[in-house]
Structures are given as C-alpha cells and as structure tokens.
Structure 1
C-alpha cells in the first residue's frame, strides 16, 4: 500500500530523511520509533507532501506521490493527525469534523455515526468550540476529523503525547480498533514502546534520518530498545 525506496526529504537544502526504504502492506499496523530529532515527524510530513522537497521513490496504492500536492494525497485516502492536533479552535466540534469530509471523493458531508460510537463525548460537545475542549478531547476531535474523510491509512504523530492518563488508554484502544475491526492501515509515530509492542505487527526505528532497524512486532526486542530508544 505504502512504499518508499531511496527516499530523501529536505527542509531547505538539508536532507532530514536519508535513503529511507520501507513497505507497509494494506491493513498493517506499523510503528515508527526513535529518539527525539531523528526524523519521525518529518517522515510523516514527507508522506503528506509537507516538506520542501523529496528525492527517491514514494508511492501509495500504486500512485507515485512524487510532487503530488497535499490535498491530492488526502483524496487518495491518506489521513493525517499531526503532533499538536491542529484543530481550529474557533470552529465548533461539528465544523472541525465536517472539515475532514472535504477530502472525500463521494461528496458526502455527513458525520459518520461510528465516530460518535468511538468518541461519545464529541456528540455531547458538537456545538462547543474546539478550543474549549481539553487536550485529550481535542486529540479525539483530531482523529474524528481524519476519520470523516474515510481514510485507507492513518498517519498519527504521537497521539497520546501530553494527554491526561485517563484518556490515553481510550485513545490507544480506539487506534487498535480502527486497525483490527475497520481494516484501516496505521502508521504511528510513538515513544511508548509498550503500546508499540502491543499494537504493531511491523516497526521501523529511525536514527539520524535513516532506518536503523525494522521488523515485525515480535522482533522489537529489549536490545533494540536499549540501543535506539532509551534516552
């Protein structure tokens, strides 16, 4: 579904992602791991076309992403929940979610009922401004907005960072359900190795912008954690 070979990605003239290759199959749950500053967020931004330029090959569902603009990538079915959530604080919960529907190709603008089942609090707060929600509720809103587009794959950048503990487990469980029950491919940037081990069937460890090691979920060993993930 999502494949890269010899991928470089730049901010200005500086290559942040360097000679990266990976293949993520449809329905996979892949975690991208690594210490701070190694290129994890940049890799997601590269997939969305949000860096200054790329070299190498990057494709999704057989489509060459190349210089394709971000909105076109969204219409292919790539949903993105960025670090910091980036909801629109002055928009209501309803308006934020409906924004996601504009990436749909079928023209539907209704909010899918399953979103309320996943996040009941959002139905209760439909007319509340997004900026008035707690951090955890805003994260739920950001995921709901991405789901409203009917994505084939979700890119999530540290979705539980800075979230109150009582909501972290709920968000983790929803992400697993989206993969296991709804068949959505997940590409997750995560610092929580415990969750990555529980949820992933594939992992990629980045170090200095390159793939240091990759494998199946069962191959994410304590030795790898000690070498590449311990601060």
Structure 2
C-alpha cells in the first residue's frame, strides 16, 4: 500500500531522517516506535507532505490501482488519495460542535459527500447523541475519539495515529485500544500507530518499525521485538 525507500530529511543543516525504508502492508497495523525526539513525528509529517523530503521515494498503491509517486502530491491531495491522519494533541475545533467538526472534515473527502459514514457511529456510538455538543466541552478521551472520527469521515484506506493513547487514564486507554483494534479487524483499515511507550501498543499490532536518531534500527513482526531491543531503544 505505502512504501518508503531510503527517505532522508533535513531541517537546515540537521540531518533528521537517515535512509528510512518502510513498507505498510494492506490491512495490517504497523507500530512506529522510539523514544521522544528520534524522528517519528518528522517521518509522519513527510508522509503527509507537511515537511519536504530531501531524497528517497514514497509510493502509494491501492488494490488494482496504479502505483503513484506520493511525493508529487500536495498535502490536500494526499488526504484525497485515502490517507487519514490523527495528529498528536488532537487539534479539533474546540468552539465548533461535534457535528460541525465532522462536516468540516467531509469537505476534504474523496467522494464529496455530506453524510457521516455509519462506521463513525458504530465505532463511537455515544458521539451520535453528542452531535450538537461543543467539542471543547468533551472529556479528553472523547476529544480523541472525535479526532479519530474526523479522520474516518474521509473513508481512508490508511489511518495514521500519532501517539493517540498517551496521557489517558487506564480505562480510556483500554477503550481507545478497542477502537483501534475494531478499525483494523472490523473495518479493514491499514494502520500506522506512532508510540514511544510500548505499554500503549495494542496487542493486535502486526509489525513494528523502531527509530533511533533518525534511523530505522529494527523492524519486523511485533513478536520479534525482544527484550534486548526494548532495553536498548525504548526503556528509560
């Protein structure tokens, strides 16, 4: 679905991403892991087009479709291709209602529909009764659900979530983890989950990519993430 090959990125003279290669298979949940400041969010911003890639390639291909050079598309086109994004910190419109937040997102959709997909209310049934509630009045976990719902109204093929579980109480983490598993297994979404705390990685994850100092130091199936890698690159 999405393939990155030898991606490099610079902020001025600082070499922030170094030869990153990563493949996101369709229908799987890949966990992008690493301590704070190792380049995880920078890599996501490169995928979304928010920061430029200095060298390397990113290719995007849906089943039966043509392979596309993702780097040739502007930010707004990448969402229209089927890439959804839930940024760290949620970034919802706190002064707008839940319904208005969702309808603003619909304007950027591929299908130009004005209807919120049923999937959204299947995942978050309480949100239907809160449609007229001001988003700023929601609890933090409800705001995170709204941020995810806002990305889902575009009916993405790939959903990128940047630290969606950090900072929540255990009950909220468990609920959001169930939502993430449901998106993958019930609705067939491909997921890229960014986290720095291994304890927050859903057990349903399929693969991992581990970053350190802007480099991809290890990747594979999640059960290959052994104690040595955890202690070296995630502990502390």
- Report matched runs for 1:46-195 at 5 Å: 46-61=46-61, 62-195=67-200
The answer to whether the 8 A contact 1:79-1:155 is kept is yes
1:203 corresponds in structure 2 to: 208
Size of the alignment, in residue pairs? 231
Moved more, 104-113 or 42-51: 104-113
The answer to whether the 8 A contact 1:197-1:218 is kept is no
The answer to whether the 8 A contact 1:93-1:129 is kept is yes
How many Å apart are 1:66 and its aligned residue? 1.4
The answer to whether the 8 A contact 1:157-1:190 is kept is yes
Structure 2 unpaired stretches of 5+: 62-66
Q: Using a 3 Å threshold, how does the CA distance of structure 1 residues 92 and 54 change in structure 2: closer, same or farther?
A: farther
What's the TM-score, normalizing by structure 2?
0.93
Instruction: Give the match's secondary structure for 2:112.
Output: coil
How many Å apart are 1:107 and its aligned residue? 1.6
Moved more, 163-172 or 205-214: 163-172
The answer to whether the 8 A contact 1:100-1:149 is kept is yes
Moved more, 175-184 or 100-109: 100-109
The answer to whether the 8 A contact 2:48-2:78 is kept is yes
2:22 corresponds in structure 1 to: 22
How many Å apart are 1:124 and its aligned residue? 1.9
State the distance in 2 between where 1:81 and 1:11 align.
23
Provide the aligned C-alpha RMSD in A.
Answer: 1.4
Q: C-alpha deviations, 1:72-123, integer Å up to 9, x for none?
A: 0000000000000010111110011122222322221111222112112211
Instruction: Give the match's secondary structure for 1:140.
Output: helix
Instruction: Give the match's secondary structure for 2:203.
Output: helix
Instruction: Give the match's secondary structure for 2:58.
Output: strand
The answer to whether the 8 A contact 2:197-2:234 is kept is no
The answer to whether the 8 A contact 1:12-1:52 is kept is no
Instruction: Give the match's secondary structure for 1:95.
Output: helix
Structure 1 unpaired stretches of 5+: none
Moved more, 202-211 or 43-52: 43-52
